[in-house]
Amino acid sequence: MKKRNSVAIGAALAFLASAATAQPPVEAFANLPFITDPQLSADGRHIAAVQSLDGKPVATVYTVNAPAGTRPQVLGFDGWPVVGVRWLKDDRVMVIVKTTTEVPTWMPKDQYTFFRGLSLGVGDDKTWVQLPSGGLIDGNRDDPDTVFMPLLSGRFGLYRVNVHTGNSSVEQGGGNGTVQWIMDGTGHVVARIDRSLDPATDHLLFYKDGSFHEVAQFYSGVDSDFGVEGATFDGTSLAYETHDASGHRVLQRFDFASEKPGGVLFSDPRYDLAYALVDEWTERVNGAAYMADKMEYVYFDPSRAALQRGIEAVFPGKDAHAISVTHDQKKAIVEVEAPDTPPTYFYLDRDTHAATRFASQYPDLTAADLGTMKPYPYKARDGLTIPAYLTLPPGKPVKSLPLVVLPHGGPDERDGIGFDWWAQFLANRGYAVLQPNYRGSSGYGLAFTQAGLHQWGLKMQDDITDGVKQLIADGTVDPKRICIVGASYGGYAALAGATFTPDLYACAVSISGVSNLGRLMTHETVIHGRRSGTVEYWDSRISGDSTQQDATSPALHADQVRVPILLMHGRHDTTVPYDQSEEERDALQRAGKKVEFVTFDNDDHYLTLAETRIQMLTNLERFLKENIGE
């Protein structure tokens, strides 16, 4: 395989791109990615993608090898941001959109986020129809008109859907508690999952001779991580996630013939399975991805394994893999990423072995604009090793740097080595950036995650504190110029850092963060019900003890804060309620503390719009300059 810089795709991808500048402004980092998730049609004639237009995500469809200057087909809906695309047939693409909608006053909360699927015609037929679901179970490749989708209508049923009209009919009605359907990629049902709540159990049922029968039961409560991903690439078994004896998340098989577990497909002694790799045309599992320091990809399908080896040989040391492949596997789109390489897409022709670069998510950034990122593991005060990553500003000596601590959200998530637009913006502005995977993070086995249970504001916060103190001891950072910044759980950690370790930081920034744990738990209980899986999960993470909740809620201890705090929150946030930041603001003002509050009027929890990201980074840059310098 060889790389080429010429543009082999005739579609004018550059028509939406902006020109690069000598010194990247905020917009170079904060604008929505120019293009994400480009997907080849099965015949290789078209590419569908999510793309930024006027600061909003829209769907685009390009024709491969179209005449120069040909513009793509663009689909955008006012108030419906596009969150994904998926090919249904060679001439139909599914566009997934989301909307935050106000609901009647009698419902538990005043706003809900909904996802919808739209079927868009390409080529001569550019009509679109609304689909009954945004989920796809089986593309039914050999049928030009129909696919299979799940739909909750009384029971969670399986529906046959016409992609040209949107009309649907019941294929299977589902049983009591049905939560998942599994098909073989050719329009045939092979299994389903039924869930019971007391005790929390998933029942695996195989479909044979026109009826379902149960073959296994699995615990489905908090931290179960049981989940069927689909049939294996060879069609002989199901691939499902579970924990092994060491507590790491693995991928195993459940054989159709013996109706028993058939061995491990993927496991790693240090890291969890991140997700199964699924063939986009058959829905069959052909590999596994896991994150060591960077993402790694292991394929079971020999053909895809050979393709991955070739990609890694061309892009050594980078996170590189095929994100879309034609049905005959002769054409592919390869995504390449590294800390100094924003996700970049190559069009690969396996007949000619040419990999042609055609787009980058952040076209206005160059490697010279970006900092270096390295692992920075350290010991917590109780001896636990905390994996972490340190991004250093380009062109600066590694000594007495101003530091931004950037704990991730979740908290059941983790950071790794790769391009991070937020961290790289901070590094570009001269700050070192620490991203700790504190206990409670995912990816390192169940024991590491469960070490964070009921430790919000306690040992989880100590882990962050200990990383900062290690950087101070190393001489890497200036102890008087440290700010803690985060979103969602990271926003909580920022507020907890300013409140419970007030001498460590010079400022704090919380974006869509939690400030009152008891109030959050009450909100979740009202919305979902006391016995819901959501409330069970948050009980396991936060602790149902009201005394501990109060003791670790920053809004209830605003008098301890000694540094300026910047709060930012989306008014349409349906994940962390907007009033969590309002309560923190009011508490700080009553205590006579310095606080600013910025509202994102048109956005939700996830910084969906470019205007929000620009507003966020602009205020963050100003606030950091005022409090820890440049």
In the chain, where are the structural domains located?
A: 1-133+321-369, 137-282, 370-516+553-628
As a whole number, mean pLDDT of residues 328-351 equals: 96
Which pLDDT score is estimated for 320? 98
Q: How far is residue 253's CA from residue 527's CA, in Å, rounded to a whole number?
A: 36
Are 22 and 11 in contact by the 8 Å Cβ rule? The answer is no
Neighbouring CB atoms inside 10 A of 602's CB total 14
Q: What is the pLDDT of residue 18?
A: 41
> Do you find a cis peptide bond into 302, omega within 30 degrees of 0?
no
Among 9-13, 205-209, 476-480, 619-623, where is mean pLDDT lowest?
A: 9-13
Portion of the chain with pLDDT greater than 90, in percent: 82
Average pLDDT, the chain: 92
pLDDT at position 545 over 60 = yes
Q: In angstroms, rounded to a whole number, what is the distance separating the alpha carbons of residues 417 and 399?
A: 22
CA–CA gap between residue 320 and residue 344 (Å, rounded): 9
pTM score, whole prediction: 0.93
Class of residue 597 by CB neighbours under 10 A (exposed 0-12, middle 13-18, buried 19+) = middle
Torsion sign (Cα): 558, 563, 569, 571:
positive
* Mean of pLDDT values over 529-536: 84
Q: For residue 17, what pLDDT band results from cuts at 50, 70 and 90?
A: very low
Give 39: exposed, middle or buried? Use CB within 10 Å, 0-12, 13-18, 19+: buried
Cβ atoms within 10 Å of 295's Cβ, excluding its own = 18
Both tokens assigned to 186: 């050719």
Residue 403 is given by DSSP the state E
- CATH topology of 1-133+321-369 equal to that of 370-516+553-628? no
What pLDDT shows up at residue 175? 87
pLDDT of residue 196: 92
Is the predicted pLDDT of residue 510 greater than 50, yes or no?
A: yes
| 362 and 421 Cβ atoms separated by less than 8 Å | yes
**572-615 pLDDT per residue, tens:** 999 999 999 999 999 999 999 999 999 999 999 999 899 999 99
* 565 DSSP assignment: E
Q: How big, in percent rounded to 5, are the helix, strand and coil portions of the chain?
A: 20, 40, 40
Q: Is 60 exceeded by the pLDDT of residue 15?
A: no
- pLDDT for residue 80: 81
Return the higher-pLDDT residue of 5 and 287: 287
Instruction: Report how far residue 260's alpha carbon sits from residue 506's, in angstroms, rounded to the nearest whole number.
Output: 58
Burial class (CB in 10 A: 0-12, 13-18, 19+), 458: middle
| Bridge partners, residue 354, by sequence | 2, 349
With bands split at pLDDT 50, 70 and 90, how would you rate the model's confidence at 198?
confident
DSSP secondary structure code for residue 626 in this structure:
H
Please provide the DSSP assignment of 162-222 as one string. Answer: ETTT--EEEEE---TTEEEEEE-SSS-EEEEEEEEETTEEEEEEEEETTEEEEEEEEE-ST
- Residue 5: what pLDDT? 40
CA 476 to chain centre: 31
Has residue 93 got a pLDDT over 50? yes
What mean pLDDT is predicted for residues 206-229? 93
CA 257 to chain centre: 36
**Cβ(568)–Cβ(600) under 8 Å?**
yes
Q: What percent of the chain has pLDDT over 70?
A: 93
- Contact in structure between 74 and 48 (CB atoms under 8 Å): no
Q: Is the pLDDT of residue 155 over 90?
A: no
| Torsion from C-alpha of 485, 487, 490, 495, nearest 10 degrees | 60
Choose among 516, 607, 618: nearest CA to 569: 607
Which tops the pLDDT comparison, 508 or 528?
508
- How do residues 251-292 score in pLDDT, each as one tens digit? 999 999 999 999 999 999 999 999 999 999 999 999 999 999
Q: Which residue has the tokens 């129909």?
A: 146
| CATH code given to domain 370-516+553-628 | 3.40.50.1820
* pLDDT attached to residue 7: 36
What pLDDT, on a 0 to 100 scale, did the predictor assign at position 111? 63
Whether pLDDT at 234 is above 90: yes
**C-alpha–C-alpha distance, residues 171 and 155, integer Å:** 13
CATH class of 1-133+321-369: mainly beta
pLDDT interval class at 110 (50, 70, 90): low
Q: Identify the pLDDT of residue 526.
A: 86
Band of pLDDT at residue 20, cut at 50, 70 and 90: very low
Please, which residues have CB within 8 angstroms of residue 11's CB and are 6 or more apart in sequence?
Answer: 47, 62, 63, 64, 66, 70, 72
Provide the 10 A C-beta neighbour count for residue 498: 28
Cα 247 to Cα 287, 442, 446: the distances in Å are 21, 12, 5
Q: Mind spelling out the 3-state secondary structure of 271-327?
A: CCEEEEEECCCCCCEEEEEEECCCEEEEECCHHHHHHHHHHHHHCCCCEEEEEEECC
Q: Which residue has the higher pLDDT, 12 or 586?
A: 586
Supply the pLDDT for residue 21: 44
**What is the per-residue pLDDT for 492?**
98
| Diameter over CA atoms, the chain | 72
578 versus 4: the higher-pLDDT residue is: 578
